[in-house]
Structure 1
Amino acid sequence: MQVRYYDELLAFLVRAVRDPHEAQDLAQQAFERVLQHQRAGHRVDDLRALLYEVARNLLVDRHRRLQVRQHDSDAVLLDHPGPSAGEPDTVYAGRQRLQVLIAAIESLPPRCRRAFILHKIDGLSHAEVAAQMEISLNMVERHIMLAVAACRKALGDAPVRKALHAAAHDAQ
C-alpha cells in the first residue's frame, strides 16, 4: 500500500488530538485497517478518502473511550464496606445480588462477556486478554468498561468488585 498520505493524515490527527504520539498511533491504526480492508478483497477506489474516513471513525472511538474513562474507576468500589457474613438477611441479600450480577454478565455480548470474565474472574491482565482473544488492547479496555458499567447498572452501583469476588469463590 502506498504511504504517500501519511504526513497529511498525521497532521490532521495531530490537530485533532493535540498529541503527536497518539496521532502517530491513530495514523498507524488507520493504515492498518485500510490494509486489512484491501487484503479482505475489497477494492479501494480513493485511498485518501478511505484513510480519512477510517481516521475520523478512530477519532470518534477515541472520544467515546475517553468519555467512558471519565467515570469513576471501579477501584472506588473497594472503599465500600462489605456486609458481615454471618447474618441470614445479609447472606440472602448477597445471593440475590450475585444472581443479578450473573444475569447481567450472561446478558453481555459474547466477546464482551469473555473479555470481562478473563480479566475480572480469571485475573488476566488486559494485555493477556488481548493476546488470548486476538483483539487490540483498546477493544479489551472497551469490553471491560462496558461490562463493568452493565454490572454497576444491574446492581444499582452496589460494590461490583466484592460481588465478583463472591461469584468467583462460589464458582470454585
Structure 2
Amino acid sequence: MLYAEYTRKIHRYLLLRTGDGELAADLTQECFARLLAHSRRATIERPLPYLYTLAGRLLTDHRRRHETWRTDTLAPEQWDDLLDDRDRPDLLYESRRRMDAVAAALERLPQRSRRVFELCRIEGHTHGEAARVLRLSTSSIQKHLALAMRYILDQTRADE
C-alpha cells in the first residue's frame, strides 16, 4: 500500500537529484526494501519523511561509492517536473522551519541591532545609508550588524 502511494514521489525526488531514470528507479526500490525491513523491527509512524531521508542517504552512499556526480542535462520533456515542488514537503518544511528560527532570533535581538539588521540585510541599505537613517557612525552599524548576524547564526544552529 505504501509503495503504491509513495513510489512516484520518491522516484521523482531521486530523479531530480540524479538526472538518471534507471538509477532513480533502483534507489527507489532500495528505499522500499529498507522500509520493509525496518518496519518488521519497529513501527514507522511517518513513512514519507522516513522514505525521503532514506532516499537522500542512499543517494549520498551511491555517489560516494562511484565518486562521480552526473552533470548531464535533462531532456526538455523532463523540465516540467523540475518546476513542480508540490510533492516536496521535506523542502517546504525545512524552509519554513529555518525561516521561523531566523524570525524568532530577530525578535530576541535588541531593538537597535534588529533595526540595523533589517536595514542592511533585508532592505538592502549600505552601512553608510543605515548610519544616516539611525544617526549612528558607520563603525557602530558594522558592529551592530556583526553582533546581530552572529547571534542569529548561533540561535539557528542551536535549533538544529
- TM-score tier by shorter-chain length is 0.3 to 0.5
If the length of structure 1 is used for normalisation, what is the TM-score?
Answer: 0.41
Q: TM-score, normalised by structure 2?
A: 0.44
Larger radius of gyration: 2
